[in-house]
Amino acid sequence: MIITNHRTIVHMDIDAFFVSVSRLINPKLNGIPVLVGSTSDRGVVAACSYEARTFGIHSAMPMKLARRLCPHATVIRGDYEEYSKRSDEVTQIVRENAPVYERSSIDEFYLDITGMDRFFGCYKWATELRQKIRKETHLPISFGMSENKTVSKVATDEAKPDNQMQINYGEEKSFLGPLSVRKIPMIGEKTSQLLFNMGIRKVYTLQEMPVELMQNVLGENGTTIWKKANGIDNSPVQPYSEQKSISTEETFDQDTIDVGRMKDILIAMTEKLCFRLRSENKLTSCINVKIRYSNFDTHTMRRHIPYTSSDHTLIACVKELFEKLYNRRMLIRLVGVRLTHLVGGSQQINMFEDSEEMINLYQAMDKLRLLYGEDKIQRAVSLNFSLRGFNPFNGINSSPLAMEKNDDEIAFIPAIKSMNKLFNLKANAKMKSNDTAPVNIEALIDIYEYLLMITPPQVINNEAMTFKQWIHKKYDHIQAVRSKPHVTLINFLSSDIEEETLLYKIDEVAKFHSPFDVQLRNFNHFRKHTVYIDIKNFAPIVSLVRSLHATLNLPASRSSFSWHPHMTIAKGLKEDKFDKVMSAFQSKQFDASFIADKMVLLKRDGQFSKYEIVKEFELKN
């Protein structure tokens, strides 16, 4: 048995999942072309059998075209409740056997079995797990095994149907080389057409291209694609937790029996929860509705449904559950909606008779929400309702509406404390790596603190620095001069392996925002510890922060967004120094303006380290 120090990642994929489950229910479908989706011509193909694929049919194809390509194909609507049930059966087997696993979609899993070769043999272990799944569920499943997620996924696709493949360490490039560039994850139809026009059809050609050229053609995305083509992918397997959920409740100012009003609020809740599902690339398979009567008698009702994130599907379910639940003519004190059994993945196309128009509508609405805020476009019944973004467990307000309520820097303190705590944990981990016991260096992921900000021109920078230097000289406050004047947009923690993705997302936000005027006016303060220069017209900055908040999807415990933008002069002042500074500043004026045409991203590897510039992002719209 050969023992290595490299990662071992397994990608498992149930072959033609919808079709395979449908064939278990109806064996007459075996061996014939099968299309799962809408029975009308307005829908699209959700899944198709391998027999149908030989006619050029693929998922997301308009059903009308698919029927034209294969007139004798059998079209079924499918039993989506059964699909969810079968997916859970496979998940249960994986959970019971795999040390670390990630459920990336309803029919796909990533497993990190690094170190299993010390006891059992990774390939043998994965083979026996696949055989167990096939035996207990009767579903065909394939897997690929390699050193990272990208190569394993491609290996799975090459092994299908109902087979397995191992790519040894060091053979990643030679394995990927002969394949079409379309095989590489992240390369879709438009990107592949662009590469074809450049004469790049095979992966080996892409491997030989200079990474600088790929970056010039495709931006930061080009670097990621080049790395994947060369078999480089350091992304970790993210452990999946089925207990995760999102929910919201509304307690009425006065108890009510207004059924119409309660239904409107439930619809608004569901619509906004659905948007958050899609923005986080998640699906739900269980919906809960809760009501509390005026006597505090609380009732809930739930329903298991096929995995979805569609407004119309979940709203209909919520309304039906509420009608069944509210069967007593008593005053209602509270209503709520909770979505559970969340998994990562995008909405399965046409799962519930979705038309192309409906899919395009969702995409257009979500794009507007991401750019301008989740409350900018919504159903009429949702106009007077907003989800609360405040988390009572960490004290952070992540709602886009927080900028209307947060007038104190105290809201950001929990996030900063969390960042310092994580840096301490990182330092402890590195100290332990010096002990005599062997440590897996790859497991020690580097965590950095990032700061995304707007910097003023040198003239304004010098003027603001005179005030910072005055405070330091007059009151011996070193923190005043430790940082240059700037307007913070986000302060967050992230690992180095996620940096490329973050750069790409920030660049995408920058493309949709134009340069804007920043007007700095006079001095203000947070409580009795921070002095800053106020920004008169902060709406454009908050709009930019909103877009970043929605696009980056950063954990609230590791990030703080500047919903009240300002330019800090001194923070961490003791009360006696603060009173003296503010008394002196009452006679001082600050009046300046500049055009903000770029964002600057900095990072550091510890709370006492110096920041380094990562990249500048031009506002290009």
Catalytic residues: 108
Amino acid letter at 323? E
Nearest-angstrom CA–CA distance, 301 and 290: 7
Tokens for 4, please give them.
Answer: 């290595």
CB 504 within 8 A of CB 510: no
Q: Omega of the bond prior to 457 within 30 degrees of 0, cis?
A: no
The H or E element spanning position 100 is strand 100-105
Dihedral, 156, 496, 106, 155 alpha carbons, nearest 10: 0
Q: Residue 224 to residues 211, 231, 352: CA-CA distances in angstroms?
A: 9, 11, 34
Nearest-angstrom CA–CA distance, 147 and 166: 10
CB 110 within 8 A of CB 343: no
302, 358, 343: which is closest to 84 by C-alpha?
343
CB 273 within 8 A of CB 246: yes
CB 279 within 8 A of CB 550: yes
Tokens for 293, please give them.
Answer: 């009567």
The neighbour count for residue 331, using CB atoms within 10 Å, is: 14
Computed on alpha carbons and rounded to an integer, the radius of gyration of the chain in Å comes to 27
The H or E element spanning position 343 is strand 343-344
Nearest-angstrom CA–CA distance, 272 and 18: 29
Tokens for 6, please give them.
Answer: 């490299």
The H or E element spanning position 217 is helix 211-218
53, 47, 18, 20: which is closest to 35 by C-alpha?
47
Torsion sign (Cα): 245, 251, 256, 261: negative
CB 442 within 8 A of CB 579: no
Classify residue 256 as exposed, middle or buried by CB count within 10 Å of its CB (0-12, 13-18, 19+).
middle
CA max distance for the chain: 87
219, 188, 192: which is closest to 206 by C-alpha?
192
The H or E element spanning position 613 is strand 612-618
CB 39 within 8 A of CB 77: yes
Tokens for 236, please give them.
Answer: 């970790």
Assign residue 553 a region (left: φ > 0; alpha: ψ between -120 and 50; beta: otherwise): left
**3-class secondary-structure state, position 447:** strand
Tokens for 92, please give them.
Answer: 């249960």
390: β partners: 397
Tokens for 235, please give them.
Answer: 């992304």
DSSP strand E in 466-608: where?
487-495, 516-526, 530-535, 559-561, 567-570, 591-596, 598-604
